[in-house]
């Protein structure tokens, strides 16, 4: 197969730091791989484990959760929850056959456009090495029941 592998990556970016950081990267005209699709959430604490698992099931090759640095959270301590939740999920992912490296948690502040570009670049590289995830369910999943499915 000569076809190039284009990883599909979902990025959950918090509104105040990482999303603004991505804005900053754009304003500074920084180049980084276009493989990440951003889903804006108000806080990284909004991201439930289910959303991450669902991303893999829908065909994502990697998931990034980016939030404010600890202590900088716009919502005082929302990212403290993320800091506990995501590493816990990483531990469990191994049991399901998903390489824990396919889930990445990092902190990017609104001033860190260059860091955002670097983190995405690194992560895309990691996923390229790992190859396609292939956890997309083949059964007809129904959009009509997005929750409690």
Partner 1 sequence: MMDVGRHPKIELLTMSQVTDIHGYVGNFKVTVESQPRYVDPDKCTACNACTEACPLSKADPFDAGLSTRQIAYRPFAQAVPNVYAIDKDGIPPCQTACPVEQHAQGYIALIREGHYEDALRVIKEDNPFPSVCGRSCHHPCEGRCTRKYVDEPISIMALKRFVTDHVYTHGLHREIEPIPCTKEKRVAIVGSGPVGLTVAQDLVKMGYPVTVFESLPVAGGMMRVGIPEHRLPKAILQRDIDDIVALGVELRLNSPISDPLELQAQGYDAVFMATGISRPTRLGIAGEDLDGFFDGIKFLREVSLGKRVEIGERVAVVGGGITAVDCATTALRLGAREVTLVYRRSRGELPVYTEEIDEAENEGVRFLERTMATRIIGDEHGRIVGLECARSKPTGRIDETGKRDLVTVPDTEFTIEGDTVIRAIGQFSDLSYLTPEFEDLVGGASTLLTEHEGILCHRGVIPGAGFVVNAIALGHEAAEHVHRYLEGEPLPAPPLVKMPERKWTRDEALAKARELEIEPRAKVPPTVRPVAEREGTFREVWLTYSEEQAKAEAARCLDCASCCECMRCVWACGPGAIDHRMTKEVREIGIGAIVLATGYDLYPAGNLPQYGHGRYPNVLDGLEFERMTNLSGPTGGKILCADGSEPKTIAFLHCAGSRDDNHKPYCSRLCCMYALKLAHMAKDLTDANVYEFYIDIRAAGKGYEEFYRRVQEDGVKFIRGKASEIEPVDGRLLVRAEDTLIGEQIEVPADMVVLITPMQPSAGARDLGQMAGVSVGKDGFFNELHPKLAPVSTASDGVFLAGCAQGVKDIPDSVAQASAAASKVLGLLSREKVEIDPIKAHVIEERCSGCGECVLTCPYNAIILHATKGCAEVNAALCKGCGTCSGACVSHAIDISHFEDGQLMAELVGMLNRPGEFVLV
Residues making contact with partner 1 (CB under 8 A): 6-8, 10, 16-17, 20, 23, 27, 34-35, 37, 39, 41-43, 45-48, 50-51, 54-55, 58-60, 68, 72-78, 81-82, 85, 109-112, 136, 141, 143, 146-148
Using the minimum distance from each CB to partner 1, give the nearer residue, 17 or 66: 17
Residue number, 34 or 87, with CB nearest to partner 1 = 34
DSSP for the chain, written as a single string:
--SPP---EEEEEETTTHHHHHHHHHHTT----TTEEEEEES-GGG--HHHHHHHHHTT-SEEEEEEPPTT--TTSSHHHHHHHHHHHHHHHHHHHT--GGGEEEEE--TT-HHHHHHHHHHHHHHHHHH--------S---TT--S--
Return the number of the residue (90 or 109) whose C-beta is nearest partner 1. 109
The minimum distance between CB 94 and partner 1, in angstroms, equals 21
Residue number with CB closer to partner 1 (12 or 93)? 12
């Amino acid at each position: 197969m000569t076809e190039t592998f284009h990883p599909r990556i979902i990025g959950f970016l918090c509104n105040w730091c990482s999303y603004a950081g991505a804005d900053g990267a754009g304003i500074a005209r920084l180049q980084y791989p276009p493989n990440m699709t951003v889903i804006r959430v108000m806080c990284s604490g909004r991201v439930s484990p289910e959303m991450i698992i669902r991303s893999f099931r829908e065909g994502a090759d990697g998931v990034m959760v980016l939030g404010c640095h600890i202590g900088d959270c716009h919502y005082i301590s929302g990212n403290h929850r993320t800091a506990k939740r995501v590493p816990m999920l990483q531990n469990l992912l191994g049991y399901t056959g998903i390489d824990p490296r396919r889930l990445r948690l990092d902190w990017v502040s609104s001033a860190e456009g260059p860091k955002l570009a670097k983190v995405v670049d690194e992560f895309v590289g990691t996923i390229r090495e790992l190859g396609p995830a292939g956890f997309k369910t083949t059964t007809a999943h129904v959009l009509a029941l997005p929750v409690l499915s």
